[in-house]
Amino acid sequence: MRGAMAAACTGLQRLTDYLQDPEKVARFQRLCGVQSTVPPAREEAGARLRRNLHPNGLENGAAPRGGEGKKQPLRRNSLTGEVGQQFVIRNQLLYYLFTFGTELGNELFYISFFPFWIWNVDAYVGRRLIVIWVWVMYLGQCAKDLVRWPRPPSPPVLKLEVLYNTEYGMPSTHAMSGTAIPLSLLLLTQGRWQYPFVYGLLLAVGWCSLVCLSRIYMGMHSILDVVVGVFYAILILIVFHPALEIIDNFNLTYKYAPLIIISLHLVLGIFSFTLDTWSTSRGDTAQILGSGAGIACGSHVNYLLGLLAEPSSHELPFSIPPFTVNLLGKVMLRVLFGLVVLLLIRAVMKRVTIPLACKVSGIPCDDIRKARQRMEVELPYRYLTYGMVGFAVMFIVPYLFTWVGLL
């Protein structure tokens, strides 16, 4: 028995080492046409220098290896000032495809997709989808800061993205959201909307595959990070999907739901911020929790004011309406009008909450970048800003639609 267990552990360790090997990531990048502009010897010397001087620093190479391809400009992380590597792209189609795939897990996608779904498709599905998204992303970020496994080393891996390079790598939260969002949409719309199940399944699998492969292509995760992220998201779905009815009813109908929601999300944020060094994960976690709280509170206000028009059972399932010029025009106007309102609210809230948090906590506000990295500033500014954005998505913007005749 002990021998069998030892053999199983050894086999599991070998599989883990195989899937975590950075050479597999670098090989996939080369296969997809990504090449460094720095000779191997200089690249290795630069890596040693970076490890000695700055754990997260990246040297910029200038000596191309030759051959044809499009040399990409240097990217800079606006939060840390970190500058990425230069690289040559020999397959433009894959580059733009995987860039799109990685954007499916970034803020720009979330602030566009969730409002679009709530305003134009189905608010019922949208608010439940966001409950799943919040828990998946929160538990994923917490797992990263507990496991604390670094991202694939460079070299041999090329870092095509620098925005999240300060975070730990295990598990991939991009892979988690890229798994949870399409699968949740599939589960939540079955029986509520009329469409062939096989089409929805193919879309979910394609969405998930694109996001996962994009993270390896960008050099941000090992294969193991991505695989664990997918299975971790599925496990969270198994636990939380059956409870969505209870959670949604509580958010809508319970008298003190907003107070409990705001308090719970704040407590979750405070107790998860125990990092040894600053990284983008802390701000992202506060942002996600704030958005979830805002959406839930907006839903509660809609229910209290009688603005939720849920269909009766005999009206289901919905059929997909024909795509007319009038429908598409109204959808575009809602999205443009709504996003302008959201961006204005976000800008105003940032302008107000950052100096206010600095003043309350006694932190100098001369250097905004450094001030935003302090927990006393980052937590309230992110939470309040995106809490208001979430509230606007669910209540303020739809209410404005009634004023301008867009409903």
Residue type for position 229: G
Q: Return the ∠ at Cα 274 (arms to 273 and 277), rounded to 5°.
A: 100
CA contacts within 13 A on the Cβ side of 371: 20
- Phi (first) and psi of residue 38, to 5 degrees: -110, 130
Give the single-character DSSP code of 190. B
The packing angle between helices 257-272 and 280-304, to 10°, is 180
Catalytic residues: 174, 221
Q: Return the ∠ at Cα 81 (arms to 76 and 85), rounded to 5°.
A: 40
Q: How far is the first Cα of the chain from the last one, in angstroms, to the nearest whole number?
A: 67
Q: Which long-range contacts (CB under 8 A, 24 or more apart) does 336-340 make?
A: 337/397, 337/400, 337/401, 337/404, 337/406, 338/115, 338/119, 338/393, 338/397, 338/401, 339/111, 339/112, 339/115
